[in-house]
Amino acid sequence: MAVISTFCKKGGVGKTTFIGYLGHYHAVHGKKVLIISVDDQNSIFKIFGEEDKIFESNDNYLEFLIAGHAELGDVLIEVRENLYLIKTLNTDKLSMKLTLERNQEKVIKKIVQEYDNYFDYIFIDFPPSSSRLTEVLLDISSTILIVVGLDSLGLGGFFNTIQYFIDNDIDIDGIKYIVPNGYSKNRRAPKISLEKLIEQGREFTPGAIVLPALQDKSIIKNLQAEGVSPFDTVKLERYDQNAKTILEKELTSLFQKIEM
């Protein structure tokens, strides 16, 4: 199964942004892509300017599928060509259900397996909080990317994430890539954090590749405010258009380094 997850115990480090862009990149290259949001904020919809679709309908949450009240196709929300999202209603409640009813674990694994027959890639967007739901889904992920913010809190988040894997007996070898986010040429702190992260990666996740750092870029915030992905073909005002083209090129070269 090609199940790719972005995870980190620290919030706001760019997990959703990264997985949204990675998913869209593959979709524009002809792959059939599904992104499951197990974060009930469903912020993945915002990456594509499709927040309205979260509230448009009330009967197409992941929970309905798990409960058997919906079919596989019923909960898919198309946001771009070849790109589908699934939304979650209540992450904590869903996790509680998995904790109390062991057979529900099999149900959710089977659902992902069945989607695997229809999609080339299944991405999972996690919240920063962790729960039984997180463990079950990380266990079946073939590729885990840990997104790390390049500051001292971000590094702490990386460390907590490794500890979380150890405490819950999740295979650390599942972590294939580390994605440093928030680099800046002009600031010293992110550079120092990156050096430390590379060192810590060598020690704790020797099997993982540390990808080139993603820069802190205002164009990312601008695009998300407009609901535009770097892989959309739209006309923006000149400054943003140039920045978007550069971002698209940088992301493309980064994504080509990720084997799935």
Where on the chain is the footprint of ligand ATP (CB under 6 A)?
11-17, 39, 43, 127-128, 181-182, 214, 216-217, 220-221, 224
Answer yes or no whether residue 193 interacts with Mg ion by CB under 5 A.
no
Answer yes or no whether residue 16 interacts with Mg ion by CB under 5 A.
yes
Answer yes or no whether residue 161 interacts with Mg ion by CB under 5 A.
no
The C-alpha atoms of residue 114 and residue 76 are separated, in whole angstroms, by 13
What is the DSSP-derived secondary structure letter of residue 75? G
The residue range among 26-34, 42-50, 179-187, 213-221 that interacts with Mg ion, by the rule CB under 5 A, is 42-50
Q: State in angstroms the smallest separation of the CB of 64 from Mg ion.
A: 22
- From Mg ion, ligand ATP, none, interface partner of 180 (C-beta below 5 to 8 A by class): none
- From ligand ATP, Mg ion, none, interface partner of 82 (C-beta below 5 to 8 A by class): none
CA neighbor of 88 nearest in space, from 52, 126, 119: 126
Which of 184/200 has CB closer to ligand ATP?
A: 184
The residue range among 12-20, 45-53, 63-71, 240-248 that interacts with Mg ion, by the rule CB under 5 A, is 12-20
CA neighbor of 13 nearest in space, from 205, 226, 202, 197: 197
Spatial contact of 141 and 124, defined as CB atoms under 8 Å apart: yes
SS3 content of the chain, % helix, strand, coil (to 5): 50, 15, 35
Q: State in angstroms the smallest separation of the CB of 57 from ligand ATP.
A: 23
Q: State in angstroms the smallest separation of the CB of 13 from ligand ATP.
A: 4
For residue 13, the tally of other CB atoms under 10 A from its CB is: 26
CA neighbor of 7 nearest in space, from 168, 116, 119: 168
Binding site for Mg ion (CB under 5 A): 15-16, 43
